[in-house]
Amino acid sequence: MAAVEMNAGSPSATEKLRRRLTSGRMTAALVLLPPALILFTLFVIYPLAGSGVYAFYDWNGYGAPTDFAGFENFERMAGHSVFQQSVMNSLKVIAVSLVVQLPLALLLALLIYRRTPENTVFRLVFFLPYILAEIAAGLIWSFIMDGNYGVVADLTRALGIDPYFITSDRSWAFTAVMVVIVWKYFGFHMMIYIAALQGVPKDMIEAARIEGASRLEVVHHVQVPMIRPAIIVSVFFSVIGALQVFDVVIPLTNGGPSNSSHTIVTYLYTFGLARLKIGYGSAVGVTLFIAAVAVAVFYQRLFMRKPA
Amino acid sequence: MTRANLIRQILRIGLLCIIASFVLGPLLATVLGGFKSNEEIQTSALSLPAVWRTDIYAGILADPGFWRYLGNSLIISVATVVLTLLIGAAAAYVFAQIRFFGSRMLFSYLSLGLMFPFATAILPLFVQVRDLGLLDTYWAVILPQTAFGLSLAILLFRTFFAELPKELFEAAYVEGCGYIRFFWRFTLPLSTPILATVGVFVFVQSWNNFLLPLVVLNSREAFTWPLGMMQYRGEYAVEWNRTLAFVTLTILPAVVFFVAAQKYIVAGLTGGAVKG
């Protein structure tokens, strides 16, 4: 920024301007920068560092942590079947995102990326769930899936079978959670794809068509390769998002039945915070942190290499 | 050819309508549920109400608790937006305008927040907020939210500020305008598009936040609407119509806000994402 071209006539004028620009600079930096640094350190870095320390203690959060436990918290966590299940569940969310959610989002984006009035309406409708609070989405769906009252109740009655409570069924409860996640987020990924598809030059598509390419071939050989950066970003969002699922689960299953539908964060909340086992919960937090950073670093190494 | 096109168009619209009903069905059932008796919900969740009861909605709208939840959420969200914009823009301005030793390092430091989910530090954050004596205050939610929002805000602001014409600053400086005044008088007013985008985004996140308020707010007086909604659900467990009416009334402002601000929301999501 100091290398800005200056159009002042004489060298002395340039020099004068430069000197004046330097004075007052430090004052400005000293006034404008500290609020961000202080707040960020106090409420992001300090707690994060705290996690790294508390994770090695057996601590209920009162007084100073003195009961050093070494890796005990981590060992207990790794051996806890509910934790293992919660990791599996988070992996399932990633799998469903990749296999169901993103292809659905891409299909819809291809169907409605052109700017027409009816496409605008569909775009708004599909994006709508994204704007709702996750907690509201979870609550709405816990009604829909209620075996006595909801739409599921309508269905079982129409089929003449007994009421069915999907969120109390050990083998299907987490599937219910994933349905809601897809419902809530496919529109978000669709929007990313639409923005990218609108940036694909029209003449490229037309040229391919003139050369005899079918619609599917255009999608496969022109449009999808052209929006690769958007796909990479949206996969990244869904992986990072899968590690953070919490709000949706609480009203739907609250981690149940018999702790079968926990995600890493609901596990952290239920077995760490709700029982005031700050040390144990911190160990879970540290593990989640390492997972998130590892994903971010590896993913960027692999796919997001930018031209400096 | 036109016939094939017509068939294709019909198939396309048909598929879109099926998916749209999957999206809208649950929302519709929710809105309608608030107008029905529980017996009616039990016999048919999706149909129009036989009798449109308005007493459930009216009851919630007359409940001062409902308005307090919304008020708390509004205060917290507005304060978070104002703080994030002011503090974030100030820091980004320094990074964009002033070269000094350690600038890159500090910028990387402040970007660390982009790396990990908020939930990882929630336990120590709870301890920290408690030890500062902030539990059950608005600040308990506002300050951590602002701190966690800063990373993205600073990143976006810095990029925008760096693209503002340099000549403007030089001219203003020759006229005797200092760095801080320039920030206040020129940089901020010229940056309304990015301020609006970030502001809308921060607002929605704060408005919908559940985990942090759940952890740091215990008294009903301080509850934000998501906490109030769960409380309400717990109290009227079998009366779905009350819960559904409550949900409807709280998502309504979100939908209105979304339609009004969608330009910024979509720009914030896709613009940043696709370029990244």
Specify the pLDDT at position B168. Answer: 84
CA distance linking residue A144 with residue A153, whole number of Å: 8
- Compare CB distances from A44 to B113, B243, B250 and report the shortest one's residue: B113
pTM value is 0.88
A253 and A168 both lie in a single domain: yes
pLDDT-flagged residues of chain A (< 70): 1-23, 304-308
pLDDT at B74: 95
- Number of A:B CB contacts under 8 A? 297
Q: How many angstroms separate the CA of residue A104 from the nearest CA in chain B?
A: 10
Contact B269 A47 (CB under 8 A): no
Q: In chain B, whose CA is at the least distance from the CA of A157?
A: B43
Q: Which residue of A has its CA nearest to B153?
A: A36
Q: B-chain residues within 8 Å CB-CB of A31? A: 90, 180
pLDDT digits (tens, 9 = 90+) for A210-251: 988 888 899 999 999 999 989 998 999 899 899 999 999 999
- Residue A80 sits in the same domain as residue A13: no
Residues of chain B neighbouring A33 (CB-CB closer than 8 A)? 90-91, 94, 106
Q: What 3-state DSSP class applies to A57?
A: strand
Predicted local confidence at residue A308, as pLDDT: 37
Check whether residue A23 and residue A142 sit in a common domain.
no
Shortest CA gap B162–chain A (Å) = 9
**Does B215 sit within 8 Å of A149, measured CB to CB?**
no
Q: Is residue A131 part of a domain?
A: yes
Q: Residue B271: exposed, middle, or buried by beta-carbon count in 10 A (0-12, 13-18, 19+)?
A: middle
Task: Tell me whether residue A98 is in a domain.
Answer: yes
pLDDT of residue A19: 58
A68 strand-pairing partners: A57
Q: Tell me if B147 and A153 make a contact (CB, 8 A cut-off).
A: no
Partner residue facing A141 (CB), from B13, B26, B41: B26
User: Do the domain assignments include residue A163?
Assistant: yes
Which residues touch B51 (CB under 8 Å, ≥6 apart)?
Answer: B37
**A23 and A86 within one domain:** no
CATH of the domain at A260: 1.10.3720.10
Residues A139 and A2 in one domain: no
* Structural domains present in chain B: 22-53 (no CATH), 62-275 (1.10.3720.10)
Q: Looking at residue A281, what is its pLDDT?
A: 94
Q: What is this model's ipTM?
A: 0.89
Q: Which of B16, B87, B204 sits opposite A36 (nearest CB)?
A: B87
Closest CA to B83 of B16, B144, B136, B32: B144
CA distance B161 to chain A (A): 12
* Nearest C-alpha neighbor of A106 from the set A115, A97, A93, A95: A97
Specify if A60 maps to a domain: no
Query: Which residues of chain A make contact with B270, given a CB cutoff of 8 A?
Result: 191-192, 194-196
Minimum Cα–Cα distance from A182: chain B residue: B23
Residue A276 to chain B, least CA–CA distance (Å)? 9
Kindly state the tokens that stand for B220. Answer: 């009903």
- A153 in any annotated domain: yes
CB proximity under 8 Å: B 177-236 to A: 178-180, 183, 204, 207-208, 210-211, 215, 226, 229-230, 233
**What is the C-alpha to C-alpha distance for residues A228 and B28, in angstroms, rounded to an integer?**
36
Judgement on whether residues A181 and A241 belong to the same structural domain of the protein: yes
Mean pLDDT in order along chain B per 10 residues (276 residues): 85 95 94 91 85 92 94 97 97 91 92 86 92 95 96 93 85 83 90 89 91 94 94 87 93 83 68 44
Report d(CA B256, CA B269) in Å as an integer.
19
Q: Is the distance from CB of B77 to CB of B206 less than 8 angstroms?
A: yes
How far is residue A121 from each of residues A63, A113, B6, B191, B259, measured CA to CA in Å?
Answer: 57, 12, 20, 30, 11
B224/A298 Cα distance (integer angstroms): 37
pLDDT value at position A306? Answer: 55
With CB atoms and an 8 Å threshold, state whether A133 touches B208. yes
Tell me the residue range of the domain where A21 lies: 1-32
pLDDT of residue A6: 44
What are the C-alpha distances in Å from B89 to residues A265, B93, B99, B112, B147?
31, 6, 16, 17, 13
Q: What is the DSSP letter of B183?
A: I
* Record: contact A153-B42, CB cut-off 8 A: yes
In this structure, are A18 and A79 located in the same domain? Answer: no
Nearest to A139 among B86, B211, B229 (CB): B229
A25/B100 Cβ within 8 A? yes
Does A54 fall in a domain? no
Q: Could you tell me if A8 and A124 lie in one domain?
A: no
Structural domain total, chain A:
2
The answer to whether residue A16 sits within a structural domain is yes
Q: Is residue A109 part of a domain?
A: yes
A57 forms beta bridges with A68
Q: Is B60 on the interface with A (CB under 8 A)?
A: no
Of B157, B230, B165, give the one whose Cα is nearest residue B197. Answer: B157
Chain B residue with minimal CA distance to A163? B42
Give the ranges where chain B is alpha helix by DSSP (H).
2-33, 38-43, 55-61, 64-97, 103-111, 122-131, 139-162, 166-174, 179-182, 188-190, 192-208, 211-216, 225-235, 240-266, 272-275
Indicate yes or no: CB of B127 within 8 angstroms of CB of A17.
no
Rounded Cα gap, residues A119 and A102, in angstroms: 19
Residues A171 and A298 in one domain: yes
Contact A244 B117 (CB under 8 A): yes
Secondary structure class of B197 (helix, strand, coil): helix
Are residues A258 and A146 located together in one domain of the fold? yes
What's the confidence (pLDDT) of residue B172?
A: 84
DSSP state of B223: -
Same structural domain, A87 and A214: yes
Shortest Cα distance from A149 to chain B (angstroms)? Answer: 4
CA A28 to chain B, closest CA, distance in angstroms equals: 6
Residue among A135, A233, A243 with most chain B CBs within 10 A, to mutate: A135
Do residues A81 and A4 both lie within one domain?
no
Establish if B262 touches chain A: CB-CB under 8 angstroms. Answer: yes
| Predicted local confidence at residue B266, as pLDDT | 67
Mutation target vs B (from A15, A17, A18, A43; most B CBs, 10 A cutoff): A43
**Residues in chain A closer than 8 A to B91 (CB atoms):** 32-33, 35-37
**Which tokens is B79 given?**
């304060």
